[in-house]
Every structure is written in structure tokens, then in C-alpha cells.
Amino acid sequence: MEATRLIKDALAQATGLLTTQPDEALAQTEAILRQAPGLPPAEFLAAQALRRLGQPEAARLRLATLAQRQPTVPALLWELAQAASETGNSAQAIAALEGLTRQQPGVASGWFLLAGELRKLGRTGDAWHADLSGIHASSRDRDLLEAAIAMNEGRLDEAAAILDARLVRLPDDPATIRLLGEVHWRRGDMSAALMLVERAVTIAPGFDLARDFLIRLLLQNNRLTDALTHAEILVQSPLDNPGYALLRASVLVRLGDQAQAAAIYQGLLARKPDQPQLWQNLGHALKTLGRQADAIHAYRQAVQYQPTMGEAWWSLANLKTVKLDAQDVAAMEQALATLALDAATKSEDIFHLHFSLGKAYEDARDYAASFDHYDRGNRLRRTLLTYDADEFAAEVKAASCCFTTTFFMQMGKSGCPASDPIFIVGLPRSGSTLVEQILSSHSRVEGTMELPEMMIIASRLQSRVDEGEFPDFATMIAALTPADRQRLGEEYIDRTRVHRQSDRPHFIDKMPNNWQNVGLIRLILPNAKIIDARRHPMGCCFSGWKQHFARGQAFTYDLGEIGRYYRDYVALMAGFDAAAPGHVHRVHYEHMVADTPGEVKRLLDYLGLPFEEACLAFWRTERAVRTASSEQVRRPIFTDGVDHWRHFAPWLGPLEKALGPVIASYPG
């Protein structure tokens, strides 16, 4: 009895030394085994010490022998699995871990280690299932549940503290790492979020929810090729989740591959056709591809399955060439009445329906009813947006005051010398898509889409002022060295390369808001061409006001605000013309409509491109067009829209007042 107690005490003492002094733990354990040969607890402790001393093969042999005698002890199976893994004996590690996970399916770490060993043997499918089982086990973990609750309630510091403490104990736990990534994302620390979620996916490649989240983070950062790589992996998941295919389609849409996206939507609809959102997505892709009849069918299927789906109705109206008839108007009015009775009504459905009814009544020449619906849609949409016209005007004035002739002379020549980009800037609905379609018909110019890259670069620079690194915009811009300017220009070229699908020497960036960045473009891409697409202020602003944009353009939902925006735009462009004469080429929509051949020749001369007849037959050019004018540029130039705003003149007083003198000075 006394000998047993002494052995028990010696084992306890050796166990206490295992973490900090494994060599001493091993020596004491071997002494115990000399007194009690083959004693299982001592053999197990000796193997643990050997593994910690960097002798995994010796540990594995002892553990394997022990496991033959005690094949159901979880701690023994776990230790054997780790020793076998460290010696490259994946088959033995897998056997041990399969036994462990059968006995303790709620222990996530066993599943994750099993997944890693299965991958080493090329058993990818089984490994994926093991990762999924590990995540399922993690979902019951008390610490993770508490952290998730704290995060969802906005107690981010508390959530981070729980997760950081957990990572001290389990430094490679993918569920903890992913959740901590989301905490950082909610804090606004995108870099930390991306690093953590990427690490979680690296540790557990079958962690579908983490990969899904990672793709969305990558999309937010415009890392489209990386997002597609992960989306291609996610759709191979053993889980039959249609959402993964949808996510892949959304990445393809961002990359401009509408055809592949449409094929995904069609495949999903073949399995389950009563999905209005899918029909709408398919309609968007088909519209962009120029398949108008098929797009109309898709949108009508969407509203058939969900008559209150405002965005689908607006998508029909927004084709511009489709006229909604009396039956459609009745259906939309009924949809509004239905939504009025539903406490869970989404404002998005309501304002989309108002914009759609505005278009329907406009086509019916009932301009008073049309304006009323446009007005109601705009007012509702405006309540959902944050936009400060005074703040924006101050930013524009700061940029205008910065980019002067003297400033450009002081900065000297620098930047990336690439002449690839052709920027088309201006306001939405100014005729920019028409200019883009004309130029994209030229054999040396590739049309892409409204690219966000320059806006991202400009926003990043502005954040240095907002965060206090520089006192103002001018100081920040002046601090850019020649090396900085070259690097930024090269960054733009590199980031936009993913959107180029041909070897044509020039490509178009049609982001209209880049008029705010003409000075920056001049600094970092001095050989880029800039085209200012301009339209009569009343026609342009009214057309923008009655257009609901999928995202951005927050200034368009109030007549006074859009008028001020146009005025700011004219002022900045005039200042830039004075600072860099001839650097920007202006195309007036009305002139292009009145004399297309002459305007096209002037445009091509500015770009240094030879004339090509295809530019005059631009509507025959087959390419994806994503803007609101997608159908209008697929037919010859028409004059109907030039003065269309005059039908609404009685109600446009606020716009006329906000525009002020720029109306009379147009096209000066």
C-alpha cells in the first residue's frame, strides 16, 4: 500500500515537471518504471516527455505498444496521433484520431488534426468532412458562444479579450481565429481581419464559413482574383449549398464575366425555379450581355414569383427601351398597397416601385403623376443615405485650390508613364456610356466598366488627412515624392489589369466620379487621357435624379443637391482646364448627337487614334455594358432625350435655383 502511494506521488511530481522540465520528468518516470515495469501511467508520461524532448519516434513506439493494451483511452489516442504525425506516419495518426473522434466527437481539435493528416495522404474529401465536423464541434464551445454573443451585442473589446485568452491556450484553433477576424472587421481594422481569416482557412481549408467570409472581405477590398480563387474552392465543398455558387457568381459579375455568372444562375433555377432573387440576378447578367428579350423574361419571372419585388420592377423599367403598360401599373400600385399593410416592409421595395411607376407614367406622358412618383421615391431613398453637400463642396474646393499651374510646375514630371488608361469622367447620365461604346468599337481600345481603383487610391490618400497625418489635402498631395507618384500610378495599372480581357493597348475606365480626381490622375498617370462627358445641366441633373442607382451617387436623390454637385463639378473642371490646358478633352452630349462624325473625329484625334468606321456604327459592337444606358447604346444615336427634361420644367425650380449661372453659361 505504501509503495503504491509513493509511486502515485512520484507520478504526480513528474507530471508537474512535464511542461517546464521534460528531461527531469522523463528521468523520474524511468525511475518509476524500474520499480513498476510496464506501468501504463508511467509509460504514457514517459512518451509525453520524449515527444516534448524532440524524440517523437521513441514516443510513438511506446505509445503504440501502450495503445494495443488500452485502445480506448482518449488521452493516449491523442498523444499517439501527435507523435505519429510528427514522425510522418499519417496512417497511424489517422487510425488513432478516428478512434478518438468516435469516442469524443465534441472535441474540435481532434477533428482538425485528423483533417490535416487526411490531406497529407491526398484524401481531400474526407479531410473536408473532418474540418466541417471540427467546426460543428466548435459551435458548442462555451467561450466561443460567449464571444459571439458579446460581438453581436457590440461589446467588441470583451469579445476580443475572450478570444485572445483562448488563443493563448489554443493558438491554432481556426474557429477562434475566424471569430477574432470578424471582431476586427467590425472594429474597422480590415488588414487584421483579412490576416486572421486567411489564417483560419489555411489551418482548416474545409472551414466553409470562414472561406465564405474571406471571399466577402476580399470583395470589399477589390481583390477580385483572390476572391475568385477562394470561390472556386468553396463550390467544391461536400455541402450542397447553393449560396456558394451564388457567391462565385457575384465574384464573376464583379470581374465582368457575365456569361459564366448567367450560366450559374440558370443552373440553379433549373433545380428550383421559384426563386425571384435568382431570376433578378439572371436578368441583370443578361441585360449586361445585351440579351434584352431574355432579360425581360427573367425580370418578369421575378415579379411573377414575388409581385412586391420593387428592384425587379425597376430593373424592367430601367431597360429604358421597355414600356410598362397599364396592367403593369396596376400590378405595381397593388404591390405598394400590399406593402403598406406589412409591418416588415422594406423601404427598398417601396422606393424602387415609386421609381418604376415614375418611368411608367412618364412613358404614358402623364408627367404630373410621373414626377410625383419620382419625387416620392427620391425622398424615401434620401432618408436612407448619408450625404453632406457642404462637406463635399469644401473637399472639391480644396482640390481645386491645390491643383494649380504653379503646383504642377513645382511637382515636376513624374508618375507612371503608361498611356493605357482612358478615363471618361463627368456626371452619371451625361452621355458617358455613349462615348465609351463609341471608343470600345475601335480596334485599339478595350471597354471595361466603371472601375473603382482610382477612387480607392484617392480615398486612401484622403484618409491620411482624416486621420491627422497631414493638416490638409494640399499638404498631403505636395508630400508625395516622385517615387510615391510612380508607385501609385503603377498600382493603378496593376490593379486594373484583372479587368482587361484583350491585348488592345488602351482601356477605358468609365467611373464618372473620377472628375474629382483629375488632378491626382495628372500626377500619377501623366500620359493617361481624360475625357469629360458633359450634358446640359438641366437635362443631366434631372436624368440623374429620376434614376435610381444600385449603389453610390448619394447626391442624386435631391434636386437641390444634385444641382450643387453639378456646379462643383463644373468649377473644378474649369480650374483644371486653366491649370493644365488641353489635358482634358470635353464631349458635349448635344454636339455628339447633332454631329456624330465630327465629334468622333475630334475625340479620336485627341487620343491619337486613326479613324475607324466601326466607331460610327457603335451599336453593332457586342460587349457587356453595365450602366443604366446599356440598351440605349445598342441602337443608333437618337435625339429624343436631349430636351426631355422640359416636360417636367414646372416642377424643377429647386434644380434651376441650385444650378444658378451654369445653366446660362452652358456649354461654355
**Any alpha helices (H) in 341-452, and if so which ranges?**
347-363, 367-383, 389-402, 405-411, 432-440
Banded pLDDT at 2 (limits 50, 70, 90):
low
C-alpha span between 80 and 390 (Å, rounded): 68
How high is the pLDDT of residue 631? 47
Position 642 pLDDT exceeds 80: no
Banded pLDDT at 641 (limits 50, 70, 90):
low
Residue 25 lies in a domain: no
Position 1 pLDDT exceeds 70: no
How high is the pLDDT of residue 204? 97
Position 630 pLDDT exceeds 50: no
Banded pLDDT at 624 (limits 50, 70, 90):
low
C-alpha span between 458 and 452 (Å, rounded): 10
Q: How many CB atoms lie under 10 A from the CB of residue 45?
A: 23
Banded pLDDT at 248 (limits 50, 70, 90):
very high
Beta bridge partners of 533: 426, 587
Residue 21 lies in a domain: no
Identify the CATH number of the domain in which residue 638 sits.
3.40.50.300
Residue 648 lies in a domain: yes
pLDDT tens digits for 141-177? 999 999 999 999 999 999 999 999 999 999 999 999 9
User: What mean pLDDT comes out for the span 337-359?
Assistant: 90
Position 629 pLDDT exceeds 80: no
How high is the pLDDT of residue 13? 84
Sign of the alpha-carbon dihedral angle for 584, 588, 589, 595: negative
How high is the pLDDT of residue 478? 95
How high is the pLDDT of residue 636? 59
Largest pairwise CA distance in the chain: 110
Residue pair 250/242 in contact (Cβ under 8 Å)? The answer is no
Percent of the chain with pLDDT over 90: 79
Percent of the chain with pLDDT over 70: 96
Q: Cell numbers at residue 9, please?
A: 506521488
How high is the pLDDT of residue 623? 47
C-alpha span between 618 and 633 (Å, rounded): 8
Residue 613 lies in a domain: yes
DSSP assignment of 588-653: EHHHHHH-HHHHHHHHHHHHT----GGGTTGGG------STTTTGGGS---STTTTGGGGGGGG-H
Query: Angle CA(178)–CA(181)–CA(186) in degrees, nearest 5?
Result: 130
Residue 408 lies in a domain: no
How high is the pLDDT of residue 71? 85
Residue 423 lies in a domain: yes
By CB atoms closer than 10 A (0-12, 13-18, 19+), residue 549 is middle
φ and ψ at residue 426, rounded to 5 degrees: 140, -160
User: What mean pLDDT comes out for the span 607-629?
Assistant: 77
Nearest-10 Cα torsion for 338, 340, 345, 350: 90
Q: Greater confidence, 619 or 311?
A: 311
pLDDT tens digits for 358-378? 999 999 999 999 999 999 999
How high is the pLDDT of residue 393? 96
Residue 174 lies in a domain: no
pLDDT tens digits for 305-329? 999 999 999 999 998 788 899 999 9
Residue 267 lies in a domain: no
How high is the pLDDT of residue 305? 97
State the amino acid at position 549 in one-letter form: F
How high is the pLDDT of residue 25? 83
By CB atoms closer than 10 A (0-12, 13-18, 19+), residue 168 is exposed
C-alpha span between 353 and 10 (Å, rounded): 80
pLDDT tens digits for 444-486? 999 998 999 999 999 999 999 999 999 999 999 999 999 999 9
* Residue-range definition of the domain harbouring residue 453: 416-665
User: What mean pLDDT comes out for the span 172-186?
Assistant: 97
Q: What is the number of structural domains in the chain?
A: 1
Q: How many CB atoms lie under 10 A from the CB of residue 161?
A: 14
C-alpha span between 301 and 72 (Å, rounded): 58
Banded pLDDT at 182 (limits 50, 70, 90):
very high
pTM: 0.82
How high is the pLDDT of residue 256? 87
User: What mean pLDDT comes out for the span 383-387?
Assistant: 93
